[in-house]
Structure 1
Amino acid sequence: MRSNYGISILNSVINGTVTMNPNSRSNAFTDFFNRTVRLILLVLLIWPVSARVQEITLNLQDADIHALISTVAEVTGTNFVIDPRVTGKVTVISSQPMSHEELYDVFLSILDVHGFSAVGSGEVIKIVPNVNAKTSGVVAGAAPTDIVGGDIVTEVVEVRNVS
């Protein structure tokens, strides 16, 4: 009997039909209380779903590197152009779920271990052998905030007062 009473009160709060004695509290307080409880319930219902969507566990055993690139493209929404010389098998063992950003960092590490690099070129990332990465896709005047860890950076420094 007691549990039905609690459910009845919860339904009343959600539907906005909670009534209180007008002598004890004002209607403004009741409205504020109802809205606050609804907002808290909504946040609690949505929060676990959004946290689960953002994580992935990556486990590959001797998978083709193109399958890995395809998976990363799908998960992160990134467009890749793959050099024909990019071939090989990769093994990735992930013990814990990771965010999309962590997945991309692991992806860059895998490319590096296999002798490949991801080079930004506008809206597309080119996957090329490391030999070509040094001369490919260099963007002049990139802001320091646009540089990601592991990026190759070339800076030209003007020399002044040289004798």
Structure 2
Amino acid sequence: MTAESYVRFFPDALAVPRARQHVEKELRTWGLANLVDDDVLVVSELVTNSVTETVRWMRERECGVAGEGEDALIEAVFGRWSWPWTIAFAVYRFGSGAVVVEAWDCSRKPPIPVPKTDDWTLQGGRGLHIVDEVSKRWGYRWPRSGGKVVYAVLGRAER
């Protein structure tokens, strides 16, 4: 990894535009402006899902914090303990030009794409399909400190 950047947001209406601005600024700083459009789209979807899940958890129960903070994303953003009512976002640049974006939230619900449908009146459910189409690969993991991290690996810089 040659560069990294971490931020955290409250799960409100400003989280997604702030995350988009953050990744765009970092990519331009790193000389990867050609990746901005795809990365901003993926970031929008991942952070929207994190906001949705965090708000759902806030309504259902108090998010617990546990563990030793051994996950790099969570530890870098929150220190030893993760704050349950915020979301974390990270972007990493690798020497190959690949970029990885990650979003953390307190939910333990796995991100499962809803079945594809032709019904364009639906209000949601297409985000992970977009992430799947735009990214090289995506997935999720369960950090020891709690919650989940959803990540996407995005394209190489053009030469």
TM-score by length of 2: 0.28
Which structure has more helix as a fraction of its residues? 1
Using CA pairs below 8 Å that are at least 6 residues apart, which structure has the higher relative contact order?
Answer: 2
| TM-score between the two structures when normalised by the length of structure 1 | 0.27
